[in-house]
Structures are given as C-alpha cells and as structure tokens.
Amino acid sequence: MPDYVTVTADEALESDLRSLVRLSIAEDLLDAVDWTTVCLIDDKRRGGCEIVPRQSGVCAGLATLAWIVDEFDADLKVELLSQDGDELMPGQAIARVLGNVRDILTSERTILNILSRLCGVATYTRAFVDKVAGTKAHVYDTRKTTPGWRLLEKYAVACGGGRNHRRGLYDGFLIKDNHLQLGGDENGPMKASVGAEKAIAWRGGSVDRMTAPQMVEIEVDSLDQLRDVLVVGPDIVLLDNFDLDRIRQAVQIRQELNPDVELEVSGNVTLDTIAQIAQTGVERISSGALTHQATWLDLGLDWFDAKTT
C-alpha cells in the first residue's frame, strides 16, 4: 500500500528551519545588538554549555541544531550527544554548544524555543503511538500545524514514531464533504463514488504541466457512502466522526466489499479513545492533537567550565 511521504531532515526541512530562525533573529535583534551581552561579556570570552532536558520525553530537532547556529553566523561548534527519536532522561545532556560566549547567549532562546517545541510534539506523539501498540493501526498527523512550522512539526511526529499524512493540498487527493457539496449541481451534492472516480481518473495525470498525485482518499460520514466508494476503490476511506460501533461495522463492510482499501479514523481521537479505535481493525488513525495539543518539553542550557573548551 502506498503512503504519504515521510518528512526527513532534508533540504526542504532545512529551508523552512532557516526561514524560522531568520524570523526569530529579527524578533530578538531588529537589526540591532544584544545590548546586555555586549555590555557585560568580553567579545573574546570562550565557553560551552549543554542542552539538558528537565523532564523525560522524546528527542526531536537535534538534526536542525547546526542549521540554527549557522543561520546566526555564530562562532560556535555543535556536538550532538543524542539522536532524534531517542528517549530523553532528565538531566542527561543531548548536545553541547561550544565557542564564543556572546554568540551562545544571543542564540540561546531561539535554540531552546525550537527544540522544546519539537521535542514536545515528538513526546506527545509517542504517547499516542504507545496506545496502539499490538494493533495494525498507525498514528498519523494532519494539516493542523502551526503556520510556517508544518514540515518541522511533521518531522517531530515522525521522531515520535507517528506517520505523516499529506504535507499540503498538493501531494494527495483528499475529498471531503465540502468538495462533494460544491462539486454538485442543482440536483444536489456530488455522490461520493463519483468524486472518487474523478480523482482516480486524474491521479498521475498532467494538469498545466504539473503531475497530479497518486494517493486518493475520500471522507465519508455514513455507511451507505462507504459502500458506494469501496466499489470504486480509492486508496483510503476516511471515516469522519464515526463512533466505535459504526467503525466496527465499517471494518466488516470493507472486508466484504474491498479489503485492499485502508480505513482511516479521524475526529474525537484522544489518548483516552485511541486504543479502543485501534482495536476495531482500522489501519490509520489521524489526529490534529499531535501538533495542536502538544506542549513544549522543558529544556535548559547548563554551562560548564570554559577552560574545557
């Protein structure tokens, strides 16, 4: 079964990260200087610090640390002591930053802001992933991401053991009720099966010299709609806000009509409900909570003897 592309620490992620760092620099410095640091710290002072979690969690974002430092044009060296996806232990350093003390102080808040956010998303995702262990279900993110942070937050979801849904509107057909409503005519909304057929006919084709994506997914809100689209055969059918009983019925119907189609559940997915959803036999469970409900992980900078650097 094909899937949406997993976000990795590639050029696209680096580009987004650097854009965010430039915005952070503008917020903190506004084309000026860090007056407190310049006033109190000698420009030749060398030192080092460790990035240390204050609580347990999952590591995410270390792959971006060198890019952050580079965007500051800082006289600093980065040493990674952990890898993205690793378990974090309170008090156990995950990276060192060594070099000009002024540069460390000026870049400190941006470094911690980005890593704390990404570690928080990875940690929250891992909690969801652990709940579905032993089932066939996988946990997926959504497009409910912080503007400008989409690739970074999706990367963090992957670090936490989750899977990435589509990155945007460009890399998959996802037909929702609004598409069917507005794609209809005076006789009423477009039938779900017709919408699925149209997308299947379009996939891989060319429109204005652009290649259409391969993945076709359609949202249904009733078992009758499910029966109609299963005959057409999209890659995925999204069960929108189905209760447990209807999810179980949907799995049975899918097995009877087209077992090659995967089922995704979305809506009312929480840490309290996801285990029961996974036990119904669906393959995919998506939740915007992975990103919009995740809290930051508490990270800090601990200084050590400058002579050791």
User: 217 is in which domain, residue-wise?
Assistant: 129-292
- Is the same domain home to 152 and 263? yes
Residue pair 81/126 in contact (Cβ under 8 Å)? The answer is no
Domain-located, residue 176: yes
Q: Is 142 annotated as a binding residue?
A: yes
Residues 300 and 287 in one domain: no
Work out the number of other CB atoms within 10 angstroms of the CB of residue 254: 22
What CATH number corresponds to the domain at position 146? 3.20.20.70
CB 238 within 8 A of CB 287: no
pTM: 0.95
DSSP letters of 209-250?
TEEPPS-EEEEESSHHHHHHHHHH--SEEEEES--HHHHHHH
End-to-end CA distance of the chain: 51
Structural Rg of the chain based on CA atoms = 23
How many Å apart are CA 281 and CA 264, to the nearest integer?
Answer: 10
Q: Are 134 and 104 contained in the same domain?
A: no
pLDDT at residue 307 is higher than 80? no
Q: Is residue 44 part of a domain?
A: yes
Q: Work out the average pLDDT over 155-168.
A: 98
Per residue in 167-204, pLDDT (tens digit) is: 999 999 999 999 999 998 888 899 999 999 999 999 88
**Range with the lowest mean pLDDT among 58-62, 123-127, 203-207, 290-294?**
203-207
Regarding whether 182 and 119 lie in a shared domain, the answer is no
Q: What is the pLDDT of residue 208?
A: 80
Same domain, 143 and 243: yes
Any domain includes 138: yes
Same structural domain, 109 and 141: no
Question: Could you give the C-alpha distances from 199 to 191, 192, 195, 229, in angstroms and in order?
Answer: 13, 11, 6, 12
Question: Binding site annotation covers 287?
Answer: yes
> Is 107 a known ligand-binding residue?
no
In this prediction, residues 126-132 reach a mean pLDDT of 98
My answer on whether 107 and 153 are in the same domain is: no
Shared domain for 114 and 155, answered yes or no, is no
Say yes or no: 182 and 273 in one domain.
yes
Residues 161 and 114 grouped into a single domain: no
Residue 273's region, left for phi above 0, alpha for psi from -120 to 50, else beta, is alpha
60, burial (CB in 10 Å: exposed 0-12, middle 13-18, buried 19+): buried
Strand pairing class (299-304; 46-53): antiparallel
Are residue 117 and residue 149 in the same domain, yes or no?
no
239 and 259 together in one domain? yes
Least confident of 83-92, 204-213, 220-229, 231-240: 204-213
Judge whether 288 is annotated as a binding position.
Answer: yes
pLDDT for 26-43, tens place per residue? 999 988 899 999 999 999
Q: Is 143 annotated as a binding residue?
A: yes
What's the rounded Cα separation, in Å, for the pair 223 and 228?
9
The total number of structural domains in the chain stands at: 2
Mean pLDDT computed over 257-273: 96
pLDDT digits (tens, 9 = 90+) for 207-232: 787 899 999 999 999 999 999 999 99
The whole-number average pLDDT for the span 94-99 is: 97
289 is in an annotated binding site: yes
Q: What CA–CA distance (Å, rounded) separates 105 from 37?
A: 7
Q: Could you tell me what percentage of the chain is helix, strand and coil, using 3-state DSSP and rounding each to the nearest 5?
A: 40, 20, 40
Q: Whole-number mean pLDDT of the chain?
A: 95
Catalytic residue list:
109, 144, 176, 219, 240
- The CATH number for 123's domain is 3.90.1170.20
Q: Are 95 and 60 in contact (CB under 8 A)?
A: no
Residue 262 forms part of a structural domain: yes
d(C-alpha 272, C-alpha 217), whole Å:
26
